[in-house]
Amino acid sequence: MKKNLLFAIIVSALLMILAACSSKSEEGSTGTASESSGPTTIEFWYGLGSEADLKMKEIIDGFNKSQDEVIVKAVPQASYSETYQKLQAAIAAKDAPGLFITGSSSLVDLASKSALAPLNKYASEDSIYDKEDFLDVFIDAAYIGDELYALPAYGSTQVMYFRKDIYEQAGMDPKEVFASWENVAEASKKLQAQGVVEYGHLPMWGSGNLIDIALSNGGEIISEDGKEVLIDSDAWVDAWEFIRKQIHEEKTMKVNSGGQGWEYWYKTIDEVLAGKAAGYTGSSGDKGDLDFTVIDSIPQPGLNGNAAAPTVGALFMAVPAVNSDEEIAAAYKFMSYFSSSEVNVDWAEHIGYIPVRESAMEVPEYAAFIEENPYAGIPYKQALTGSPDFVDPTGGKIVDAISIAADKVELQNVSVEEALKEAKKVAQEALDELN
């Protein structure tokens, strides 16, 4: 009898321990929680800084308060590239965030590795998802074949920002100044000669500006059949030589580089706000950091009589495939919320990124805002005629080669022909391996 009682006590104790361990395991999960234990909690990784980070957290807070099924936790990173680097390691370790923001090339690379969760099922059940309402330049890149792998979060393109008071005092019409890159360079010389500024215009460090000016000089990155890299063409050489000469010989322009995260970016903005330079080429998302009582913006111009064709791309919200079904569903719920017209225009109005839906422009509050603040509509206007963001078929090797060449030209004053010829060789080898 005593043995039976002792056995019953031991079994009871073991059951209690197992129950406690199970409960603790559920509580410690970084992903989902069971229906009985509350909402699904997910992490959201993004590489936004300054005002954009604050606004994103505000939107996340609004989403969390709007329903009781999902809790999104903001996890800011230093930059988009850092987000992508950490993400790859997290996916390999099967400890990925619930969702993240990335660019089109990274999106394609991850999808090709089956690292992203397909979203067709969730979109088909989403009452506000409407493919036709998204701008083609954004939504087309979210599909790989017939499968949807992301939702466009916001569009981005680089526009010209300038000190309207400086140009006004100098008696220059910004519409004429920014009608061509040649005019920008000439105006920069005149402003320097007047002692008004140290530099006329500041290109933003990196390959982005140089790619844009090459495309706006009639250049292409790869051939239509996808077999030849074209970055050493006359159109590219002439465009990059134009910028190299302004930086290193004429010294009308300057590039700020280095630092942690977005440090170089904000240094460029600060120099314009301080009046050291008359303007700069920067992201549509810079609007939250600018003072439009003295700043205005205008689309990028063309070069050598060519039509302007700067790149227009989207940043996408996507979900790692290693996550559970509950996490994926939770992530999609927030993605859908963010891409709705009302939330998207709230983001666009405060930060300056391009709304991803056509219907966003019909939201009365946003339409009124654009009418009162014409500068806010410039990125959207440029998005309608710009070049789609280049999706690197080699998984980034072509873009990396261009970036290395850009640093050589902008920072080291290496011959444009030499830098682009070397970049073409590396990029072509990568493309040939693919084909």
Domain locations along the chain: 25-155+314-372, 157-311+391-434
Taking residues 106-112, what's their average pLDDT?
90
**Per-residue confidence band for 35, with pLDDT thresholds at 50, 70 and 90:** very low
Selection from 121, 88, 119 nearest residue 102 by Cα: 88
Selection from 65, 97, 73 nearest residue 84 by Cα: 97
In whole angstroms, give the CA distance from residue 231 to residue 352.
Answer: 31
Q: Residue 99: what pLDDT?
A: 97
Topology (CATH level 3) of domain 157-311+391-434:
D-Maltodextrin-Binding Protein; domain 2 (3.40.190)
Q: What is the pLDDT of residues 374-427, one digit of tens each?
A: 998 999 889 888 898 898 888 889 999 999 999 999 999 999 999 999 999 999
Segments in 307-394 forming alpha helices (H):
325-339, 341-351, 364-372, 378-383
Segments in 218-324 forming alpha helices (H):
234-245, 263-273
Tell me whether domains 25-155+314-372 and 157-311+391-434 share a fold: yes
What letter represents residue 145's amino acid?
A: G
**Per-residue confidence band for 2, with pLDDT thresholds at 50, 70 and 90:** very low
Mean pLDDT rounded to a whole number for the chain = 90
Q: Are 71 and 39 in contact (CB under 8 A)?
A: yes
Torsion, Cα of 100, 103, 105, 111 (10° steps): 30
> What's the distance, CA 156 to chain centroid?
6
DSSP calls for 191-235? HHHTTS-SEEEEPPSSHHHHHHHHHTTT--SB-TTS--B-TTSHH
- Between strands 151-163 and 311-318, the pairing is antiparallel
More reliable by pLDDT, 303 or 78: 303
3-class secondary-structure state, position 384:
coil
Q: Residue 190: what pLDDT?
A: 96
pTM: 0.77
The DSSP output letter for 246 is I
Statement: 25-155+314-372 belongs to CATH 3.40.190.10: yes
Burial readout 350-370 (b: 16 or more C-beta within 10 A, e: otherwise) = bbbbbbbbebbeebeebeebb
Burial (CB count <10 Å: 0-12, 13-18, 19+), residue 274: exposed
The angle formed by the CA atoms of residues 307, 308 and 309, to the nearest 5 degrees, is: 110
Q: Residue 306: what pLDDT?
A: 97
Query: Does 435 have pLDDT greater than 90?
Result: no
**Per-residue confidence band for 57, with pLDDT thresholds at 50, 70 and 90:** very high
Q: Residue 12: what pLDDT?
A: 45
